[in-house]
Amino acid sequence: MRALTAWLAALSLWAPFEALAVAPTTNLHELKWLVHVDMIDAGAGRDLAFYEALIDQAVADATILIEGDQGPADSACCDVIEVLSIGTFGTPGDGLDVPSSAADQAALDAIVGSSGSTAFLVDSLGYCGAPTSTAIGCAARPSCSGNPDDDPGLKLIVTMEAHEVYDVLGETLAHERGHNSCLSHVTPGEQCLLMTSSAGGGCLTASDCTAFDNGRNGSGGTCACHDGSGGTEDDGLACTERSVTGLCSNGLCGSVDSDASVRLMAAGGPEAAEGAATDDALLISGLPGGWVDLGPIGGGSAPTGLAYAPLRGTLYAVSSLAGDDELIALDPATGARTGSIGILTGKENVTALAFDPGDTDAESDDRLLALDRVGNFEDLFEIDPDDASVNDLGGLSVGVTDGFQGLAYDSINDKLYTSGFVTDGIWEIELPCLSLCSTTRVVGAGVPRRTSSLAYSELTGRLYVSGSQSGPRTLFDSIDATTFEAFPTIGIDDYTPGGLAAIPVPEPHPWVLQAAGGLAVAVLARLRRLRRRRE
């Protein structure tokens, strides 16, 4: 609680007043949703309520991609998709659950009529302007006069295949609404771009935002975390937006106990999704995954592992040297090197780092856990964070392609996890180790990455994974460390992943915290609750 106590001590009635920038009015994309009747099967648990929940989640995921910032190549757009209604369409056996011809598309157009926007949820697609076996979404692109608030009869189609096979229903919805807003496909150059023909990104250009703005069919409320001039408010600023009261996270307003409460410091290579030297400090916003480059990390040492100690307020890193590696301390706000803890004697190929706060708030039982690559396997060892002395714990029982590259310690459930290019991506390392560390695949995590980094936040109780995959492209995931339910994978602006550490967002201005109705008290209660669960 030491760092948090200092934060709360700063809450003063005499805090200076600072004017907030005027948040822009939200452009609304209001959709009437229709689900084909042949997809309703209450006996199989697929009643209309099932699809309502699925649509609500897809709309929320699409809005994150449009309104949030996914990295330097992205523009955060003050545009939000909303659900007007959800119902059914078609008759049993009419074939419109799999539109496969121009006649089927014309039948959907007739349902839409001459005004409003309708989203159809179907099983799969066989026709979208031409026969297709690969399309997972389809949309009308209007005449595009450029006048805001145009409201012709527009349709878009998303498929259950997008959800069940590819897990990109929200991204598909955002992409198809882009077509409704006059945007065409772009030639893949930046893997992050939303309007590429293949799934995988959420980034939009400034002109894309203008198109989305003009494609609205309503307006109302504000984008609380946008500054009104095309930029976003600082992470950690208190916000209230669309019934959410919480904190800003790179253009999005998230609740206090959500990913909006953390930022992640990454050692990364911003030049490419794979193969670049991970010698820059990248600050990642926890909710949308967008990042900014702060410059060289650790003096440009390209650290191979990062770990944050919350009560110490210290960011640790492993610097690779010609001989034994070195444990160093970094500024958690900038990634700048602040000092050397010591040489890791006998450890020449450290691949990952994690922090274990022990069973008490005392620093005496703190330790760092690390992996050292030896041949085709990794050895687990512990490090004293005060003097860098090491103690071997045992070799991992499993070796994987390209090795395990990420490490994170869940201090609530007292579990250690590692990540790499393996089935499901995350494995649990059983503690304590007795010469051999049993390693068990976490079934259902579903984040295999060619290169990956892993972090854990006690504040949110979540694991964070950043890694590269087919394309290549850089992906970001947030995963509940208890249920392993994953936040939908976000394709973010490309960088080569290195070490990763989760850090609480910067302290908001005191008067803003007071205006937010006790956010500081809520965060304090959250941390105390978590600490009690560990003791």
Does 205 share its domain with 274?
Answer: no
Does 476 share its domain with 364?
Answer: yes
Q: H/E element holding 119?
A: strand 117-122
Does 317 share its domain with 374?
Answer: yes
Per-residue pLDDT tens digits for 462-489? 999 999 987 788 999 999 999 998 888 8
Q: Does residue 516 form part of some domain?
A: no
Contact 110, 89 (CB under 8 A): no
Q: H/E element holding 261?
A: none
Does 267 share its domain with 215?
Answer: no
Residue type, position 382, single letter: E
Output the pLDDT for position 232: 95
Query: Rounded to an integer, what distance in angstroms lies between the CA atom of residue 490 and that of residue 397?
Result: 31
Query: Rounded to an integer, what distance in angstroms lies between the CA atom of residue 119 and that of residue 86?
Result: 9
From 173, 205, 222, the end of a domain falls on 222
Does 316 share its domain with 371?
Answer: yes
Q: How many domains does the chain have?
A: 2
Instruction: From residue 83, give the alpha-carbon distance in Å to each of 54, 141, 182.
Output: 12, 20, 21
Closest CA to 469 of 485, 447, 444: 447
CATH of residue 325's domain is: 2.120.10.30
Q: Does residue 514 form part of some domain?
A: no
Per-residue pLDDT tens digits for 184-209? 998 766 778 999 988 778 899 999 99
Does 200 share its domain with 277?
Answer: no
CA 130 to chain centre: 35
Output the pLDDT for position 506: 81
Specify the pTM.
0.90
Contact 117, 154 (CB under 8 A): yes
Does 153 share its domain with 295?
Answer: no
Query: Rounded to an integer, what distance in angstroms lies between the CA atom of residue 90 and that of residue 34?
Result: 9
Output the pLDDT for position 469: 84
Give the SS3 label for residue 175: helix
Query: Rounded to an integer, what distance in angstroms lies between the CA atom of residue 361 and that of residue 533?
Result: 13
Output the pLDDT for position 487: 83
Long-range contacts of 444-448 (CB under 8 A, 24+ apart): 444/484, 445/479, 445/484, 445/486, 446/486, 447/419, 447/475, 447/477, 447/479, 447/486, 447/489, 448/421, 448/422, 448/423, 448/424
Below-70 pLDDT ranges, the chain: 1-21, 145-151, 188-189, 507-535
**β-pair type (462-469, 473-480):** antiparallel
List the domain range (segments joined by +) for residue 290.
257-504
